[in-house]
Amino acid sequence: MAASSRPTIHEVAKAAGVSISSVSRALNGNTSNPEMVARVKAAVKQVGYVPSAVAQSLKTQQTGQVAFAMEDIGNAAYLAMVREIQPLLREDGYRLLLHATGADVQDEIEVLESLAQKYVDGLILCPIRVTDRHLAALRSPAVPVVVIGQLPEEADVDNVRTDSRQGARLAVEHLYAAGARRIAFINGPADTVPGRLRHAGYQDGLHACGLEVDDSLVEFGGFQVSAGREAAQRLLARTQPDAVFAANDLIALGAMHAIRSAGRSIPEEIQVVGMDDTTLAETSFPPLTSVSLGSRDRGRLAADMLLARLHGETGPARRATVAPSLTVRESTREAAA
Amino acid sequence: MAASSRPTIHEVAKAAGVSISSVSRALNGNTSNPEMVARVKAAVKQVGYVPSAVAQSLKTQQTGQVAFAMEDIGNAAYLAMVREIQPLLREDGYRLLLHATGADVQDEIEVLESLAQKYVDGLILCPIRVTDRHLAALRSPAVPVVVIGQLPEEADVDNVRTDSRQGARLAVEHLYAAGARRIAFINGPADTVPGRLRHAGYQDGLHACGLEVDDSLVEFGGFQVSAGREAAQRLLARTQPDAVFAANDLIALGAMHAIRSAGRSIPEEIQVVGMDDTTLAETSFPPLTSVSLGSRDRGRLAADMLLARLHGETGPARRATVAPSLTVRESTREAAA
């Protein structure tokens, strides 16, 4: 904030105790809540906010569209973000377009480059691999961009992240406390940022619990249900785990299917923990214990950052981190006394 | 076809026994399959195909983007369509953008109207309510549009449909054959096209089996998991069904959750059938018997129709219908002898 002496819409939102989109709606007359309008007007006066000329000129170029690019819309973690981002943008008059990139680097770069065609006013991007080409394309995008995911420290981009390494450690510690000693790990691709961090967190957890790292307990595959099922089949064919930590809920669903098909009970014989705490975790059988990486919070924060830029906020790149937490359900046992 | 004497890319595809996107790739030199190129070239010669001037001019205006607008990307039936449409378009050099409209009529109309901004070259639209405003906006869209869903006979739009009424009847007849006599129905909203047709098909099935229509066995809600769970709770609180037919797999998942939570076994005490035969049906517990409405086929046909228009095909609107079928899994019993 030191770089900019001019008050921003962020400060108005903070002073009023409301979201940026609420400020925007109140200022644009798009709300029927008079109490909200009064609070926002008071906050505008308090911080001395003046809508910027950039914001005014942006308004005239508007397409009214914002894009959200993610790997796979079949992944409920992204769906949770969409469910949070879309209403916030809509309240502010923006329509959300989704790109499913299949984690294809070329596709993601093309999405970034196509911003120059100005078919959208802004972009929220979730890359699972971050290459030099990403960083180059992010250096001067044609419209505001917010990245959800891990970026190098030097990247000058608005960024929302989580700590999936810490989240993986939470999962292992929970399984250990519930009596598991042969804790397997079924990961997505090892060459992705989430894959690398979750693997590191799994090892952190083993160390913290005083368990040995045993590579025969680790499998890699894709981040989808079918990949999780196949990886669990390979795992069960060669070793006897008493718990499986899966790098996301889709992998966990596939693994539970393979475990049941092998005639093993969950959680009595094999406990299972997923990651992302999606709606699938609630409706699976048994309901799945899962590490929440705050997808909804990450979506909301990214939408807020982007809306601030669309309203002309300048200043240095912002960064926010959402802490992981564990939601315990019936696929794991009670912690041993 | 009588309206146009000039051979179309459709006819080339038919003569070569390949898809339109394969023809397009072969003609544009975007394939490494020489056998395919030879077949397509032979077919071009055979039918006397000449790429149209319209196609040439379209090529120069291209944005390289196509939009797919559907109610809810959390619904795996739409996801199955995306999984089919996206690779076909990508092979032909198009990037797919997704719009989740929440079945909001205003939003769908705005998507149609925004086509005039030419941010995409074509649109595939899945409305679940079809209003006069839809029909008016579909009358002269700025770019080619294909509709997946039920349209009035007079609508002059490329259209892919299924027969969900017949599909609902299949579900009821299967449950009757497996011994069910109190077959409940959990529907989505009654004022939607799918809701209306599935309800009619449920009644058709009861009549065909000689069962009475009993409105206390019918519940309405939304097409999501949580709505299905709540509707099943209301149902079980007031009556004793021995089977539940759910209007889609998400509703069925929610209903199975409510049934298990009420201490009832599936399929021994209550059999369950879903609709759409999504990947969720395979991984649920127990795996869910479901009516397939050919989502993948509908996606593929819609992509083919749109690609034909993008390659300059003129002529009257096309229509294709995909027949329903039943995939039997463990949530229902064997047919009684």
Closest to A110 (Cβ–Cβ): which among B63, B95, B257? B95
Q: Is the CB of residue B96 less than 8 Å away from at least one CB of chain A?
A: yes
Average pLDDT score over residue span A118-123:
90
Mean residue pLDDT across chain A = 89
Which residues in chain B are closer than 8 Å to A279, comparing Cβ atoms? 74, 225
Q: Which of A51-55, A132-136, A232-236, B36-40 has the highest mean pLDDT?
A: A232-236
Tokens of A54: 């950039």
Q: Is the CB of residue A285 less than 8 Å away from at least one CB of chain B?
A: yes
Architecture of the domain spanning B164-292: 3-Layer(aba) Sandwich (3.40)
Would you state the pLDDT for residue A179?
Answer: 96
Distance CA(B204)–CA(B207), nearest Å, equals 5
Q: Which of A216-220, B4-8, B315-319, B332-336 has the highest mean pLDDT?
A: A216-220
Q: What is the ipTM of this complex?
A: 0.73
Distance CA(B145)–CA(B310), nearest Å, equals 10
The residue among A248 and B58 whose pLDDT is bigger is: A248
Which residues in chain B are closer than 8 Å to A100, comparing Cβ atoms? 82, 86, 96, 98
**Model pLDDT for residues B115-155, shown as the tens digit of each residue:** 888 889 999 999 888 889 889 989 889 999 999 998 988 88
Q: Which of B112, B114, B283, B288 to mutate to test the interface with A (most CBs of A within 10 A)?
A: B283
Q: Is the CB of residue B79 less than 8 Å away from at least one CB of chain A?
A: yes
A285 and B260 within 8 Å at the Cβ level: the answer is yes
Architecture of the domain spanning A62-162+295-324: 3-Layer(aba) Sandwich (3.40)
Distance CA(B114)–CA(B145), nearest Å, equals 13
Q: Is the CB of residue A93 less than 8 Å away from at least one CB of chain B?
A: no
- In the block, tokens 């420290």 appear at A153
Chain A residue whose CA is closest to B279: A225
**Model pLDDT for residues B275-309, shown as the tens digit of each residue:** 999 888 988 888 999 999 999 999 999 999 999 99
Would you state the pLDDT for residue A51?
Answer: 63
Tokens of A114: 């196509």
**Model pLDDT for residues B193-220, shown as the tens digit of each residue:** 889 999 999 999 999 999 999 999 999 9
Cβ within 8 Å of B, A 212-251: 225
Closest to B117 (Cβ–Cβ): which among A63, A102, A285? A63
Q: Which of A7-21, B71-85, B203-217 has the highest mean pLDDT?
A: B203-217
Would you state the pLDDT for residue A5?
Answer: 58
What percentage of chain B has pLDDT greater than the value 70?
A: 93
Nearest-Cα distance to chain B for A164, in Å, is 24
Does residue A329 have a pLDDT over 50?
A: yes
Do the first three CATH levels of B1-51 and B164-292 match, i.e. the same topology? no
B111 and A95 within 8 Å at the Cβ level: the answer is yes
- In the block, tokens 């021994």 appear at B268
Q: Which of A229, A285, A331 to mutate to test the interface with B (most CBs of B within 10 A)?
A: A285
Distance CA(A79)–CA(A88), nearest Å, equals 15
Domain ranges of chain A: 1-51, 62-162+295-324, 164-292
Chain A residue whose CA is closest to B79: A74
Q: Is the peptide bond before B286 cis (omega within 30 degrees of 0)?
A: yes
**Topology classification of domain A1-51:** 434 Repressor (Amino-terminal Domain) (1.10.260)
Distance CA(B244)–CA(B232), nearest Å, equals 9
**Topology classification of domain B57-162+295-325:** Rossmann fold (3.40.50)
List CB contacts of A7: < 8 A, sequence separation 6 or more.
A47, A48, A49, A50
Identify whether the C-beta of residue A212 lies closer than 8 Å to the C-beta of residue A206: yes
Tokens of A40: 């926002």
A74 and B76 within 8 Å at the Cβ level: the answer is yes
Closest to A79 (Cβ–Cβ): which among B73, B254, B279? B73
The residue among A298 and A56 whose pLDDT is bigger is: A298
Would you state the pLDDT for residue B74?
Answer: 81
Angle at B280 between CA B219 and CA B295, to 5 degrees: 85
The residue among A63 and B28 whose pLDDT is bigger is: A63
Which parts of chain B fold into alpha helices (H)?
A: 9-16, 20-28, 34-47, 53-61, 76-91, 105-114, 132-139, 164-177, 193-209, 225-238, 249-261, 279-283, 295-310
B65 and A119 within 8 Å at the Cβ level: the answer is yes
Q: How many CA atoms lie within 13 A of B21 on its CB side?
A: 19
Average pLDDT score over residue span A274-284:
89
Would you state the pLDDT for residue A209?
Answer: 97
Q: Is the CB of residue B58 less than 8 Å away from at least one CB of chain A?
A: no
What percentage of chain A has pLDDT greater than the value 90?
A: 57
Would you state the pLDDT for residue B27?
Answer: 75
Identify whether the C-beta of residue A280 lies closer than 8 Å to the C-beta of residue A249: yes
A283 and B86 within 8 Å at the Cβ level: the answer is no
Q: Is the CB of residue B253 less than 8 Å away from at least one CB of chain A?
A: yes
A100 and B96 within 8 Å at the Cβ level: the answer is yes
